[in-house]
Structures are given as C-alpha cells and as structure tokens.
Amino acid sequence: MIKRLYDWCIGLAEKPNAKWALAGVSFAESSFFPIPPDAMLVPMALARPDRAYVYATYCTIASVLGGILGYFIGLLLYDSVGALVIKAYGYGSRAEEFRAAYAQWGAWIILLKGLTPIPYKLVTITSGFAGYSLPLFILFSVITRGARFFILAFLLHRYGPAAREIIEKRLGLWAGLFAAGLIGGALVVWWLA
C-alpha cells in the first residue's frame, strides 16, 4: 500500500495538476485533514527535484490559507467544529491551558509547532480560539511553514537523486520512521502541553 501511494505521488509529479493536488492537501491539513503534505511533497520533489521549490511555494501558500481557515474555525466555530477536531487529537481537556499559554507564548507556539510534524491544525484552531492577533498569526505562519517546506525543498533539490535511491531501497523503513516521528512528536507535545 505504501509503495502504491509512493508510486502514485511520483507519477503525479509529471502531471500538470500536481501542484494543485499538493496545494489541496496542504490547505486541508492546516485546518482539518490528518495527513501532512510532506507525504506528497517528498515523493513529488524526488521525482522532479527541479520543481522542489515550486512545490514548496504551493505548500506554503496553501498551508497559510488553510491555517487562516483553521484560525476562523477556532474563532467562530470552536464550540461546534473546532472542539471536535481538537478532541480527535486528544487535546480537548487541555484547550483552556493552551489558550492561557497563548497569552504569554503565542508567537513561540506558532513558530515552533509550525516547524514540527505536529498537526498544524491544532495551532491554527487554537490560535483563533485564543483570540491571537490574526496579522501576527499570518506572519508567523508564513515564516514557519515556509521554513519547513523550503528546507525540505532545498534538501530534496540538492540530494534528490541520491535520496530517491536510498528511500526506494527501504521504503517501508522510511515510512515507518516518518509515522513514528509523527506519533512521537504528537506524544511529546501532548506531554509538554
């Protein structure tokens, strides 16, 4: 199954609508969708290292726009939609603690958690719920999401062919490490929150 998904993303990179599919996943991940865009960005940039920066640009813009949707879910729809998303990730009982932390550490929360594989939708929804400044939220989202995707694009552009060979030899191992990183990161944040 992982191989089929990987092959699908590799094949998608050759299609004209590739960047839009990637942007759609990136947008949705920032507000409600559980799968990070890295799962598409990496194989697509491996297939087309010459387009890695284009893909990173689409990921960044779409992620920030999706983050704005998540912000407004938290601001306007927290009691109905936002709380359900937060609870689905096991943070429901800590929402008030997180809101209080925003008063003191809002910028750092956005900057640090936006770089990690922690679901960014938790940051976007909570930013709206906490009433964090929308212009600052957008600025910090551009910085953190841009840094995340452009660092990845740089590495994939520079080491793409060698990385592709290494990844394809042990695709299951790398997918398992990626999943472990996501789960481990979520557990660390949950424990620290």
Residues 6+ apart with CB under 8 A from 138: 64, 67, 68
Best CA proximity match to 122, nearest among 76, 151, 83: 83
Q: How many CA atoms lie within 13 A of 10 on its CB side?
A: 13
The amino acid sitting at 187 is L
Per-residue confidence (pLDDT) for residue 61, from 0 to 100: 97
Helix (H, G, I), strand (E, B) or coil at 85: helix
Per-residue confidence (pLDDT) for residue 32, from 0 to 100: 78
Where do we find the tokens 């750092």?
Answer: 108
Distance linking the first and last C-alpha atoms of the chain: 34
Give yes or no for a contact between 151 and 52, defined as CB atoms under 8 angstroms apart: no
Question: Which pTM was predicted?
Answer: 0.76
Residues 6+ apart with CB under 8 A from 18: 12, 44, 55
Where do we find the tokens 């999401």?
Answer: 145
Per-residue confidence (pLDDT) for residue 145, from 0 to 100: 92
Per-residue pLDDT of the chain (193 residues; tens, 9 = 90+): 555 655 655 666 677 888 898 898 889 888 877 778 887 888 888 888 888 999 999 999 999 999 999 999 989 988 888 878 777 766 666 667 777 777 777 778 787 777 666 678 888 888 898 889 999 999 999 999 999 899 989 988 888 777 666 666 666 666 666 667 656 665 655 555 5
